[in-house]
Amino acid sequence: MTYLEGVYWDLDGTIANTELEAHLPAFNNAFNDLGIDWNWDPKKYIKLLRINGGKNRIAYYSRSNNYDFSDDLIFKIHERKQFYYLELIKKNTINFKTGVFRLINELHEKKIRQFIVTSSSKNQVDLLVEYLFDGFNPFEFIISSEDVELNKPNPLPYLKAVQLSGIKKNNSIVFEDSNPGLKSSLAANLPTIFVPSNIPTILEDNIKLDCIVDCLGDENNVANVIKGPKLKKSYIDFSFLSDYLMTVSNAEN
């Protein structure tokens, strides 16, 4: 029987909009501190988000612009960027996306196991979770960039999460907001719901989704299902997730 047992959450752009609000200014502050003549504007940074992982992003931009940055310098930039990112989190500049905390709470009350699978570093994730949830941690474990050799879009982060949780894939759901994340979860053969962030995303042609919503919604903000089961309420809830899994199961059978 198909029933929901576990939910894997991406972090940046899925649980909270962090890229433009915290990651981008942190990068630019790090460049400035180290005397590097780079300043990423939002348009440039959105393009760079096709490269997953902060150090990978720095290395890619370095190569693309004929800079010869050593691994040590890339590490130093990223380390400084992390410092500024954590400072921004401490100032409570980041908030939950609409409906996220509500749904996480509902799933927690229904004993649905929950996890985070992200390309962010562990200390960034730990601090953001601490500040957002104010001491309440509903996640059984976190797969961060330090936990796998290959990050998204490789399926390895989700495959490791599935292995650790022991939950069957057809009893699981992933929430993702980006092309790299979607490629990762779909390559791991996990039922996936796409919830866009505040960064414009054009889905790549090879990404085939069976569930897309514009937001998770709440009592004051109606969620719109672009593709997937019909909503029984004005927002995404446990009932909707169960209906979605049933739809996936029926399609496979």
If you average pLDDT over residues 108-135, what whole number do you get?
94
- Confidence grade of residue 253 (pLDDT, cut at 50, 70, 90): low
What is the span of the domain harbouring residue 31? 19-90
Q: What's the pTM?
A: 0.91
Q: How many domains does the chain have?
A: 2
- 162 Cβ contact list (under 8 Å, min separation 6): 169, 172, 188, 190
Together in a domain, 75 and 179: no
Together in a domain, 77 and 121: no
Identify the CATH number of the domain in which residue 57 sits: 1.10.150.240
Identify the CATH number of the domain in which residue 243 sits: 3.40.50.1000
- Confidence grade of residue 187 (pLDDT, cut at 50, 70, 90): very high
Together in a domain, 196 and 176: yes
Together in a domain, 42 and 125: no
Together in a domain, 50 and 142: no
Please state, for a pLDDT cut of 70, what percent of the chain lies above it. 99
- Confidence grade of residue 52 (pLDDT, cut at 50, 70, 90): confident
Together in a domain, 25 and 112: no
- Confidence grade of residue 68 (pLDDT, cut at 50, 70, 90): confident
CA dihedral 134, 137, 138, 141 (to 10 degrees): 150
Structural domain ending residue among the three candidates 45, 71, 90: 90
Together in a domain, 244 and 191: yes
What is the longest distance spanned by two Cα atoms in the chain? Answer: 59
